[in-house]
Amino acid sequence: MTEGYDSIIEYMRGIGARLEFDRRYPGRKMVEQIAISDKIIRFKAIIPMDDGSIELFQCYRVQHSDTLGPYKGGTRLHPTVNMEEVKALATLMTLKTALAGVPFGGAKGGICVDPRKISVNELERLIRKYTHRLLPEIGPNVDIPAPDVNSGEREMAWMYDEYRKSRESARGVVTGKPLELGGSHGRREATGMGVSIVLLHTLRDLNIHKPTVAIEGFGAVGSHAALDLHGKGLKVVAVSDSKGCVFNPAGLDIVELDAYRASGGTVTGFAGGESIGSIHDADADVFIPCALGLSVNESNVGRVRAKLIVEGANAPVTMEAEKTLTARGVAVVPDILANAGGVIVSYYEWAQNREGLYWDLETVRSRLYNTITEAYTSVTRHAREHGVTMREAAYRLAMDRIARAMAARGAQ
């Protein structure tokens, strides 16, 4: 489970008060309009398993807001997925797209399943059933799913294929597709690259030189952030996954670690480092949580030794833990800025699908750099000018943008 839904809404209420929404938009209930999800979809998928038995899976899609464009957000496959979590993640998507300035709203999907515990055929049936049930709800101009924890190009290909069976071929119905099906160059590594770009800007602004880095999670986000940072000469001293953590104070060889993980499925047992109990105990200047929510919480925040935390995952630092970190002078770069690279390149994929004109990797990379840098610059400028945290600044900019759009649309 990630950050409780209520604490994000509570946080947004505080921001709404500080942005003086009641005075600026009298009688509009602006915070409520921005914060409360538009539509919540929950259903069960009944799947025949390979052995002839039947299994039930809880499925969710939360369409949080379409004020700035079609609903947009990933599809999480995890045994802890639940409604509150999907609602929170959908809310974060709305804020993320608004902050990045991409023309989407926010949504999130999830299936309560451990994909490692079912066969590939069973997973394909589940994803197709999930997509089929959502046919009336999704579409390139309505709601555009994408990858999230444990879903990637393969699952997006199934979703696209299931959609086109009964709808006009519309490649923009999902993003994060394989290149062969209209995916974009650079989408696979986009979130990790964005984390790396934002981290390098932050290090420069905070005058942190030659930092050591610890990364929690070596999946779609963590591995690409690690590879990019390693390639740029930063010392990544600790990396973890769901099975364990490897540490080397002299710096891990991330290229070798990536090859090791590709062959064995885990970073544990890597000969180029020693095994340690928890990534939170790794001594590093920068901590990049790229796994699930709630990684840094009240129970372990005292152990965090980093000077800087960059949220590669969604909601990895709880609001309570962040208060403690801020009081200790630890800077936290919020998820809606730090991991926006994924949805930014999803936007490029969607735009390329609409145009039927495809861009090369260099074009994608340089546009990603410019877009996320612009978001970073506006957040740090606002934070500096108003003496607030980067999270407060990011939420303010996102909520202000949405409020202006709502007001411009009239009374509705």
* Contact flags string 94-113 toward ligand GLU, x per CB under 6 A: --x-----------------
Based on the number of CB atoms within 10 Å of its own CB, is 23 exposed (0-12), middle (13-18) or buried (19 or more)?
A: exposed
- Using CB under 6 A as the binding rule, whether residue 343 contacts ligand GLU is answered as yes
Task: Name which position in 69, 70, 74, 183 contacts ligand GLU (CB under 6 A).
Answer: 74
What minimum distance in Å lies between the beta carbon of 349 and ligand GLU? 8
What minimum distance in Å lies between the beta carbon of 311 and ligand GLU? 11
Task: Name which position in 4, 70, 73, 105 contacts ligand GLU (CB under 6 A).
Answer: 73
Is 235 assigned a catalytic role? no
What minimum distance in Å lies between the beta carbon of 132 and ligand GLU? 20
CA distances to 19, 21, 67, 395 from 15, rounded to whole Å, are 6, 9, 19, 7
User: How many whole angstroms separate alpha carbon 219 and alpha carbon 119?
Assistant: 20
Place of tokens 């998820």: 335
What minimum distance in Å lies between the beta carbon of 391 and ligand GLU? 16
Report yes or no: 157 and 181 within 8 Å, Cβ to Cβ.
yes
User: How many whole angstroms separate alpha carbon 137 and alpha carbon 248?
Assistant: 48
- Dump strand ranges (E) for 282-369: 286-289, 308-310, 331-333
Sheet holding 212-216, edge to edge: 274-276, 244-247, 235-241, 212-216, 286-289, 308-310, 331-333
- Using CB under 6 A as the binding rule, whether residue 293 contacts ligand GLU is answered as no
Task: Name which position in 129, 342, 390, 392 contacts ligand GLU (CB under 6 A).
Answer: 342
- Using CB under 6 A as the binding rule, whether residue 192 contacts ligand GLU is answered as no
Place of tokens 């999670």: 217
Stretch 296-315 residues interacting with ligand GLU (CB under 6 A): 314
Stretch that binds ligand GLU, among 143-151, 209-217, 317-325, 368-376 (CB under 6 A): 143-151
Of all residues in the shown chain, the one whose CB is closest to ligand GLU is: 74
User: How many whole angstroms separate alpha carbon 309 and alpha carbon 295?
Assistant: 12
Pick 148 or 216: Cβ nearer ligand GLU: 148
- Dump strand ranges (E) for 5-137: 39-48, 54-65, 71-78, 106-112
Task: Name which position in 196, 212, 339, 352 contacts ligand GLU (CB under 6 A).
Answer: 339
User: How many whole angstroms separate alpha carbon 94 and alpha carbon 86?
Assistant: 13
Mapped onto helix, strand or coil, the DSSP state of residue 56 is strand
- Using CB under 6 A as the binding rule, whether residue 203 contacts ligand GLU is answered as no
Pick 49 or 351: Cβ nearer ligand GLU: 351
Pick 285 or 311: Cβ nearer ligand GLU: 311
User: How many whole angstroms separate alpha carbon 128 and alpha carbon 130?
Assistant: 5
Sheet holding 106-112, edge to edge: 39-48, 54-65, 106-112, 71-78, 143-147
- Using CB under 6 A as the binding rule, whether residue 72 contacts ligand GLU is answered as yes
Pick 25 or 218: Cβ nearer ligand GLU: 218
Pick 16 or 342: Cβ nearer ligand GLU: 342
What minimum distance in Å lies between the beta carbon of 346 and ligand GLU? 3
Mapped onto helix, strand or coil, the DSSP state of residue 182 is coil
Report yes or no: 247 and 272 within 8 Å, Cβ to Cβ.
no
User: How many whole angstroms separate alpha carbon 331 and alpha carbon 286?
Assistant: 10
What minimum distance in Å lies between the beta carbon of 3 and ligand GLU? 13
What minimum distance in Å lies between the beta carbon of 191 and ligand GLU? 7
Pick 16 or 192: Cβ nearer ligand GLU: 192
Q: Which of 72, 87, 96, 108 is catalytic?
A: 108
Stretch that binds ligand GLU, among 49-57, 67-75, 281-289, 362-370 (CB under 6 A): 67-75
Nearest to 160 by CA among 353, 358, 385, 382: 353
What minimum distance in Å lies between the beta carbon of 382 and ligand GLU? 21
Stretch 156-175 residues interacting with ligand GLU (CB under 6 A): 175
Pick 254 or 340: Cβ nearer ligand GLU: 340
The pair of three-digit structure tokens given for residue 363, joined into one six-digit string = 């074009």
Stretch that binds ligand GLU, among 144-152, 203-211, 283-291, 394-402 (CB under 6 A): 144-152
Interaction site with ligand GLU (CB under 6 A): 72-74, 96, 146-148, 175, 314, 339, 342-343, 346
Residues recognised as catalytic: 108
